[in-house]
Amino acid sequence: MSSARRRRRRRGPLKLNGMGERLHIKGHILTGPDEVLGQMWVDDGRITFTKPAGGDFRTLEGWVLPGFVDAHCHIGLDHRGLVPDEVAEEQALTDRNAGTLLARDAGVVNDTRWVQHREHLPRLIRAGRHIARSRRYFRNFAVEVEPDELVAAVREQARAGDGWVKLVGDWIERTEGDLTPSFPAEAVKRAVAAAHEEGARVTAHCFSEQSLDDMLDADIDCIEHATGMRHRHIDRFVEQDLPIVPTLINIDTFDDIAGSAEAKYPTYAAHMRDMHRRRHDTIAKAYEAGVRIFAGTDAGSSIAHGRIADELAELTRASLPAAAALDAATWSARRWLGAEAISEGASADVVICSGDPRADIRHAGSLKHVVLRGNVVR
């Protein structure tokens, strides 16, 4: 199978109605980490660098970036599982108002295609339901299967989503008292190959070291969390051009998880604490080696929505320069997902900061305006 087919990409939905506002946006238009223009216009919801004829324009000014990408987000999910559509809409609005204008779903229970047809909500790339081992994940979240059922489940979710499938690569095995891979390595290889045959990419929740080995061997397309990454993995991640989405604000909860599990599962608790302790160092080493890193919050299970700026700040605490942290949620993230950024004719999905977030990442959390599909929504 060709690389192009394996890495099929889909763009967000087309505008359904409405023409958008006529805007003149000036100041510092960041078309890349080091590429700055002085002004642009928005007409009929689209960006142009040539002033359109006629009419009045509303002027906005500041430091302008592509709308943030939350590459690990669960719109339609909370700690209990499925939420009503009205709650899912509030989650999406919270993300939008924080500047997330494109979310890659990392597994939800219900069909959230309806989000893609509401122009006031962020663009959404769906992955269908999580696929987990029976009784080895949060209750009511995943399609739970045994190894001989994994390929069929992957094919089903590949056809139900927008080009992504989400596996739960490891979870606590209570009889062993620690994290172990969810599925045998050969079953994972067959499942990833089946997804590629369906034209979908595969990502996996992976905390532990062994699950990373198995996913690398299976030629998977992305890893979520990657807390178990060791020196033996890093060169392979670079060689295979395998990106990670660290979800550091979620990993920050590991110490609390360990505390609640310690009495019954002390080995698991110690393992979780170790991964928590070295979380920033793990990501720093991966970044220094050239592993691609994308920003994701894991909002929707135990993490509140609207925290993309917190995740960017955490990436800088892991020694990423502010420009690199921004890139993980803007220019590079959009290229990875096949989405438009700031270019001639692109949909006007941008955020406007009061100061340069490349100099101080805190500016990403204090937005002046959010523009989605050419409309100023904040």
Read off the pLDDT of residues 164-217 as tens digits, 9 standing for 90 and up.
999 999 999 999 999 999 999 999 999 999 999 999 999 999 999 999 999 999
Q: Give residue-wise pLDDT tens across range 137-150.
A: 998 899 999 999 99
CA angle 217, 222, 225 (to 5 degrees): 105
Query: What pLDDT does 301 receive?
Result: 80
The DSSP output letter for 107 is -
Over the stretch 277-287, which tens digit does the pLDDT of each residue have? Answer: 999 999 999 99
Give pLDDT, residue 68: 99
Which token pair is 216?
Answer: 């690398």
Whether residue 243 has pLDDT greater than 80: yes
* Domain range list for the chain: 68-338
Listed residue (114, 154, 100, 108) closest to 128, CA to CA: 108
Comparing CA positions, the residue from 101, 106, 44 lying closest to residue 68 is 101
**With bands split at pLDDT 50, 70 and 90, how would you rate the model's confidence at 19?**
low
Percent of the chain with pLDDT over 70: 95
Mean pLDDT of 252-280: 97
Residue 375 has pLDDT above 50, yes or no: yes
| Chain position carrying tokens 């937005």 | 367
Across residues 103-111, what is the average pLDDT?
Answer: 94
Query: What CATH number does the domain located at 68-338 have?
Result: 3.20.20.140
Burial class (CB in 10 A: 0-12, 13-18, 19+), 38: exposed
| pLDDT (0 to 100) of residue 235 | 96
Among 342, 340, 250, 326, residue whose Cα is nearest residue 293: 326
CB 109, CB 129: distance < 8 Å: yes
- DSSP codes, 237-288: HHHTT--EE--HHHHTTHHHHHHHHTTT-HHHHHHHHHHHHTHHHHHHHHHH
What pLDDT does residue 10 have?
34
| CA dihedral sign, ordered 314, 320, 323, 328 | negative
> CA triplet 281, 284, 285: central angle to 5 degrees?
90
Q: Are 229 and 202 in contact (CB under 8 A)?
A: no
Tell me how crowded residue 115 is: count the other CB atoms within 10 A of its CB.
23
